[in-house]
């Protein structure tokens, strides 16, 4: 057990090995007592607290692994995220204007992944503990929409039939849509034959009692009372089972607004990694849009929603793996603005084609600043300038950072 002074990067104290040491749930400048295990420690006691330390908003904080920074005051926490973006860009030799971090409000998450486990005390539903596979039964969650939190007891009951096999470890991916809760369940043991007919019937009955919109198991429909619908810009989209959707509507709007502002004046726009149309429909208010995404169900949903909005420019869409088959520079010949919003691995293959094209402006959206910086360097080396970046705190009180960056020739 050691007393440590926490720095901006790590902890320092007698007996700590050379190099950074990490003690979660502490803040820069604090003097703490910690139990060290190599370079990582567990907090025992805060001896001198930072003026930036605040009372956590949730009684599960510190036990639940869902939040890391509830003890940090808002302003320094958001500035830290901004500095992380600056740092990751600087590692690639990139400098630009990094705007203040957009902050998602509390109680705003419309999508969560809840783990379910069985036992003598009945079904436990919640998030995993810090650094553990153990489960914390969650009864409150200040980051999540209250309508979703209110459904936790019904979701625990729904999970029971999916635990019939001892090796099943269900995860309920729950999305709050305009027509009710959409639940896609993964982690059910399949090698032994999957869910029994009896369990399926019980699951459907429980879903009906809770008035859920839809329940699917790895995309297969178990129960559906209503098609889950979401509003993306001016369009109404039928959400495919298990489909990606931005977790916080306010963060989604901030990112889309930023992209739309950058695309003003464009006649032809490419929306790459479009999903079901998060950016597509707003961009189509400016110019014609060609959307591409690897998910065929998402593209089908996008196409099906085109008729739900009026006053849009032409939209075309294709299901296409942009890693294996990126849109080529020759196909981007008449495009004025390219928007890309890839998974965490980034868009390197597609970025190379954009760099070779004559596209005048690019908007890069990312859930991983490190891969964004890598891809941004490709564009800058090809003659683009990174004009500005907006960090987005979509996952409140977590280390996760999203961003939108604008490039011009």
Name the active-site residue from 64, 67, 141, 367. Answer: 367
- 1-53 carries CATH number 1.10.10.10: no
State the pLDDT at residue 22: 87
Helices 197-210 and 152-159 meet at what angle, rounded to 10?
170
State the pLDDT at residue 194: 84
| Cβ-based neighbour number of residue 8 at 10 Å | 8
DSSP labels, 342-358: --TT--HHHHHHHHHS-
Q: Are 183 and 212 in contact (CB under 8 A)?
A: yes
- The domain 77-104+248-408 is classified under which CATH number: 3.10.350.10, 1.20.210.10, 3.40.50.150, 3.40.50.300? 3.40.50.150
Here the tokens at position 36 are: 């060290």
Q: Per residue of the chain (409 residues), give pLDDT as tens.
A: 788 888 765 555 544 445 677 899 999 999 999 998 888 899 999 999 999 999 999 999 999 999 999 999 999 999 999 999 999 999 999 999 999 999 999 999 999 999 999 988 889 999 999 878 889 999 899 999 999 999 999 999 999 999 999 899 999 999 999 999 999 999 999 887 789 999 999 999 999 999 999 999 999 999 999 999 999 999 999 999 999 999 999 999 999 999 999 999 999 999 999 999 999 999 999 999 999 999 999 999 999 999 999 999 999 999 999 999 999 999 999 999 999 999 999 999 999 999 999 999 999 999 999 999 999 999 999 999 999 999 999 999 999 999 999 999 9
Q: Rounded to whole angstroms, how far apart are CA atoms 392 and 403?
A: 5
Closest CA to 403 of 72, 87, 70: 87
Ramachandran assignment for 216, one of left (phi > 0), alpha (psi -120 to 50 degrees), beta (any other): beta
In which residue are the tokens 């019939």 written? 164
CATH fold of 111-229? OB fold (Dihydrolipoamide Acetyltransferase, E2P) (2.40.50)
Sequence spans of domains, the chain:
1-53, 77-104+248-408, 111-229
| Cβ-based neighbour number of residue 323 at 10 Å | 16
Q: Are 324 and 345 in contact (CB under 8 A)?
A: no
Q: Rounded to whole angstroms, how far apart are CA atoms 257 and 390?
A: 11
Could you check whether 1-53 and 111-229 share the same CATH topology? yes
Q: Rounded to whole angstroms, how far apart are CA atoms 388 and 260?
A: 14
Here the tokens at position 238 are: 């039928």
What sections of 232-389 are H helices per DSSP? Answer: 249-263, 280-283, 296-305, 348-356, 369-381
Active site residue 367: yes
């Amino acid at each position: 057990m050691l007393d440590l002074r926490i720095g901006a990067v790590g902890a320092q104290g007698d007996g700590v090995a050379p190099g950074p040491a990490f003690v979660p749930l502490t803040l820069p400048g604090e003097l703490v007592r910690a139990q060290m295990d190599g370079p990582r420690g567990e907090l025992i006691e805060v001896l001198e607290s930072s003026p930036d330390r605040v009372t956590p908003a949730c009684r599960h904080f510190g036990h639940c692994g869902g939040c890391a920074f509830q003890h940090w005051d808002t302003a320094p926490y958001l500035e830290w995220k901004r500095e992380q973006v600056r740092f990751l860009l600087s590692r690639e030799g990139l400098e630009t204007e990094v705007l203040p971090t957009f902050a998602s409000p509390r109680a705003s998450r419309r999508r969560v992944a809840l783990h379910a486990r069985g036992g003598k005390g009945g079904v436990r539903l919640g998030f995993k503990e810090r650094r553990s596979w153990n489960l914390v039964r969650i009864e409150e969650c200040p980051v999540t929409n209250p309508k979703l939190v209110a459904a936790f007891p019904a979701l625990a009951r729904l999970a029971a039939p999916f635990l019939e096999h001892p090796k099943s470890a269900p995860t309920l991916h729950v999305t709050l849509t305009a027509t009710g809760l959409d639940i896609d369940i993964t982690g059910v043991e399949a090698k032994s034959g999957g869910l029994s007919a009896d369990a399926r019937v019980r699951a459907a009955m429980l879903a009906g009692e809770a008035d859920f919109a839809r329940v699917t198991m790895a995309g297969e429909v178990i129960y559906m009372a209503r098609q889950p619908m979401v509003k993306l810009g001016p369009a109404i989209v039928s959400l495919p089972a298990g489909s990606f959707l931005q977790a916080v509507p306010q963060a989604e709007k901030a990112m889309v607004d930023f992209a739309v502002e950058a695309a003003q004046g464009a006649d032809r726009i490419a929306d790459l990694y479009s999903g079901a149309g998060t950016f597509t429909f707003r961009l189509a208010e400016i110019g014609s849009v060609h959307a591409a995404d690897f998910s065929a169900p998402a593209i089908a949903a996008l196409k099906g929603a085109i008729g739900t909005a009026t006053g849009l420019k032409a939209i075309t869409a294709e299901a296409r793996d942009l890693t294996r088959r990126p849109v080529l520079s020759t196909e981007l010949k008449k495009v004025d603005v390219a928007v890309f919003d890839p998974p965490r691995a980034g868009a390197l293959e597609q970025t190379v084609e954009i760099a070779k094209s004559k596209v005048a402006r690019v908007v890069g959206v990312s859930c991983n600043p490190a891969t964004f910086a890598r891809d941004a360097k490709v564009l800058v080396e090809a003659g683009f300038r990174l004009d500005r970046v907006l960090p987005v705190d979509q996952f409140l009180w977590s280390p996760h950072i999203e961003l939108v960056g604008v490039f011009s020739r």
